[in-house]
Chain A
Amino acid sequence: MAEAPAVTIEREIDPWPARVGPAEVTLKLTDAGGKPVSGARVKLEGDMAHPGMKPEFGDTREIGPGRYQGRLAFTMAGDWVMLVHVTLPGGQTLERQLDVKGVRAN
């Protein structure tokens, strides 16, 4: 089995602190050498920390070398977990779990 590629993901969420409603998510993907990872397919999934809640999904587009932007709706206040599903240009896939704690009510 191929080893998961060493990709670092940095995230920005606008508005921050996150509030209930649509948010703009920007992700910066870099490889082990710090070089931007271009040409990947990146999908977003937002899950509440509590089970049984409706997950939210979002696509992204590459807005610059290794920079991907998409929208994700936080439908209720509380702790969210953002799953980032990445398919690299070589077909390898990876998934990262990023906490978005304390999404606030409007």
Chain B
Amino acid sequence: MIKKLHKDLLENYPLLWNLRLPGIFGTLAIFHLIHFLVGYSMYSGEESMRWHNPEGMYFSTSFCLFSMIGSSVIFILWFIRVFRNNAFKSFYPIGNGKLFQEFMVFFVVCLLNITCYYSYTFGFVFHARNNTNNSENKKDIEVYNSVIAFLQNNKDAYRLEGRCYPDPFPLTKRYNENVRYAPSDQVPKSDYYFVSRDGRKFSSAEVDVLTGGVEYSYLNNCNFYSMYIHNESDRYSSNSEQENEHYKTRLVTTLNNPEELKANMAAFIKLCDKHNISYQLEVDDWFKWVYNPPYFPVNYLIFHKYYYPGQYPTPNLSDASVIQASLQLNPKSYFVEVSKLQNILQSTQRAYDYSFELAPFLGFLYAALFMSIMIFTFRATARRTWMIALIGSALICLIIGALTAVLAFGGGKDGILYFYLLVILSFILIHFISIRKTVSGVSLIWFVWSLPYAFVILLGLLENNFDKDYFQTYFLVCLLIYLMALRFFIVPRFRAWQAMPEN
């Protein structure tokens, strides 16, 4: 069958045969399948979710290195086979359309070759989705989020500076002008004051009245954004301040409803059991430490990891007063593997939220475009000309860099950008006016290489504050324009150059 396919392609579709299209597409399909299967096999239950984030795990494993090596080997072998025949350089009747088709094949092959990441990630996500329950995970996240504010192991999370309700909070601490630098804990209360967002001043004594003199309180924990597990839409549509506002409201509601608080704590302990999370914590004790209305002081911090006998608390837990108080209250050391639980729940949610994102894919498109341009120019020109262009481009970059530095002193950003555009246009001008084939070829190659950057430069000239959507649209439009320019202007120039006699 392979022989028949080979014969059919050779006799009827010489371009496809020359580019070894079935071979390279078949190889890349297998390569992607391998990535999918490896990604699939990387999911081995909750333990794998503990260590890996579905979106980034490809780059964090050694398989990424093997993948890059494999990808390069496939590419080089294909490259060697393709370059065995070159109808264009042999002056066979190859039209502009055929030449452009060659470029498009290079582009697609390059794109497929560098996007194995997607197959790998889809494999992992696919397996994870098949072995977890999204709605159940969402409920687990709800339980986790409902008590995480009482599980912070950093006392700074409960400082007064973090409090944001009721009015006049949040307050900013200001030191009197005569206060010299000293650790904040050692500065006397008379040496600082507080300012609300609307500019009202409060003395330390006034604030003490509002807080009952409690500096570390569960009510102060308004900045635990990073500990919460957010859903996909929250991550992109909300900012941390809005998020905190939302969780703060929930926190206050919970603290005002002790039965719900205790129920949530019990649910959390069950959640730990369900996900094999190590802990040493009892609901009654935990509730007792947390539920101390009206000021809800923090008397005890719970470790986030295993506590081994003889192990001393980590420095950020060593606030003397808090630790001493807590140790007196609870001679046992309590801990919960919170980060493990967070990773499991979060990674599982990301596996469900994972979808194709255009923004990172544009990066792959850009890389594929760069690679295909390099290959195309190599194939459509003489080896010597291409090498001169490659080496010369380093020199050109140096010269342009030096001139940019000069321009930067005299003019603004626009002047530099106009200068870059001028350089790019001068390449095509030199191509047309030079009667020396090598010079004409090198300038043509430089023009083709630099043209995509012209769009970036134009973007800089046109728009100063472009957002993601604008950039994506602009990029796609530019890609389309570039391909059109290639088809109707650049490819015919390569054809004309190839036929040009030498001097």
Q: Do A and B bind each other?
A: no
